[in-house]
Amino acid sequence: MTEHIPQTMGQQFGRRSWAEPWKIKMVEPLRMNTREDRARAAAEAGYNTFLLRSEDVYIDLLTDSGTSAMSDRQWAGMMTGDEAYAGSRNFYNLENAIQTYYGYKHVVPTHQGRGAEHLISQAAIKPGQFVPGNMYFTTTRLHQEMAGGIFVDVIIDEAHDPTFLHPFKGNIDLDKVKALIDREGAGKIAYISLAGTVNMAGGQPVSMANVKALRSLCDQHGIKIYLDATRMVENALFIQEREEGYADTPIAAILHEFCGYTDGAWMSAKKDSLVNIGGWLAVNDWDLFEELRNMVVVFEGLHTYGGLAGRDMEAMAIGIVESVQDDHVRSRVGQVRYLGELLTDWGIPIVQPVGGHAIFLDAKGFYPHLQQTAFPAQTLAAELYLDSGIRSMERGIVSAGRNPKTGDHYYPKLELTRLTIPRRVYTQAHMDVVAESVKAVYDGREQARGLQMVYEPRYLRFFQARFERL
Ligand SMILES: Cc1ncc(COP(=O)(O)O)c(C=O)c1O
């Protein structure tokens, strides 16, 4: 008989375990509920996880946006909020952190990412111009369209295949950009909308080589590159792990170098920067900055607070410094990977390779018998909630919305349900519970009948749409 030697989960996957570089000093109790409670709550919420009350949720993986745990230092920073209307010292701390770690010259604070998207879209897009991007993001594309822009997806084709293994599935296909320039002319391109990592593709990264090549192409044609830096720190970890020459480069240096190939960035600080609210926009060009600084007072607040309290800017400034520490990023992405490896081991169809912030379940793989118009990913999110009280999010046909010209649904190739892991919030045991519930729903997949949409809002319908079971 061979002796059974217990192994840690890390060892089971052939490596040493990662561990969080912190310990817990305050906890928030979770509420367990029954299947009957959940059936009632799901029906009341129109089978849309955005419409559930958080009190009815057990493990909340709706989003990693604004849901992370702040550190004791960030909370201490909140107490040093300078709530002056103008010139708060916390703004200057934030400006300094952005200039130091992201490297841009001029900073405009905003209340969150979409506030920044609004400003950059209005300032940098002329009606009728094209905005090529590495896959769309919901709020980003909507702001570009509302400014009169026409979004063009220029991500590599592999990104649309959930099973294709590519180390940098967020990369831009330069041939697609060149073809657009040849067809329309560089003057018809507002800017390149580059995101690192790519949320809708499964949190997939962009390589340094790709952004460098993009920079040189854009320089030939006088085209600007603006970066959605929302999860760029996580992107930097993938460069460190996967790209030749970066294994010994700290995350902070990789981040700084990558941003250096772009002309500016916007940020939802609610993700990488470990805060519950906040965002910013930063550019190198003075004239564009002048325009943005002028617009921010109309839509957000004065240019030294942008819709934020001083304390929020302080928490963000400290969060930026914490977010670029190598051991933090490694454990954050390591936890996501842990869940992904468990599910992969159990034969559950998920987007591969596992990305930075979430596990994306492949709803078409769960429910091959459902048409996309029966909303497979929305169905899967509802089933997971009913099974265990875990809240996930649809990232498929509902999120894709409708073509503003034709009014038809967009039919994205990827029909995904996202299990998004907040930073520094849940434990490995929580990840095990999530995996067990996903497995139970997968085992019962043949019973799923799908949903029909009974209420559809005009904008960003995934937030408020209502459904009934078929
Ligand atoms: C990639 C990306 N860009 C932009 C945003 C918009 O940011 P916010 O939610 O702070 O408005 C998000 C948020 O989900 C995002 O994931």
Tens-digit pLDDT string for the chain (470 aa):
556 777 776 776 667 777 899 999 999 999 999 999 999 999 999 999 999 999 999 999 999 999 999 999 999 999 999 999 999 999 999 999 999 999 999 999 999 999 999 999 999 999 999 999 999 899 999 999 999 999 999 999 999 999 999 999 999 999 999 999 999 999 999 999 999 999 999 999 999 999 999 999 999 999 999 999 999 999 999 999 999 999 999 999 999 999 999 999 999 999 999 999 999 999 999 999 999 999 999 999 999 999 999 999 999 999 999 999 999 999 999 999 999 999 999 999 999 999 999 999 999 999 999 999 999 999 999 999 999 999 999 999 999 999 988 999 999 999 999 999 999 999 999 999 999 999 999 999 999 999 999 999 999 999 999 999 99
Q: Which residues does residue 192 pair with via DSSP β-bridges, in sequence order? A: 225
Report the half-sphere exposure of 287 (CA within 13 A, side-chain side).
Answer: 1
Is residue 462 flagged as an active site residue? yes
Is residue 137 flagged as an active site residue? yes
Q: Which of 37, 40, 85, 157 is catalytic?
A: 85
**Cα 449 to ligand 1 centroid, rounded to whole Å:** 31
Q: For the whole model, what pTM was predicted?
A: 0.95
Output the pLDDT for position 7.
74
**Cα 114 to ligand 1 centroid, rounded to whole Å:** 6
> Which residue is it, tokens 């996930």?
392
Best residue among 65, 140, 200 to mutate for probing ligand 1's pocket (most ligand atoms within 8 Å of CB) is 65
Q: Are strands 106-110 and 279-283 parallel, antiparallel or unpaired?
A: antiparallel
**Token representation of residue 323:** 């977010």
**Token representation of residue 86:** 């103008």
Cβ atoms of 422 and 409 closer than 8 Å = no
- What is the sign, positive or negative, of the torsion defined by CA atoms of 150, 154, 159, 161? positive
**For the chain, how many residues are written?**
470
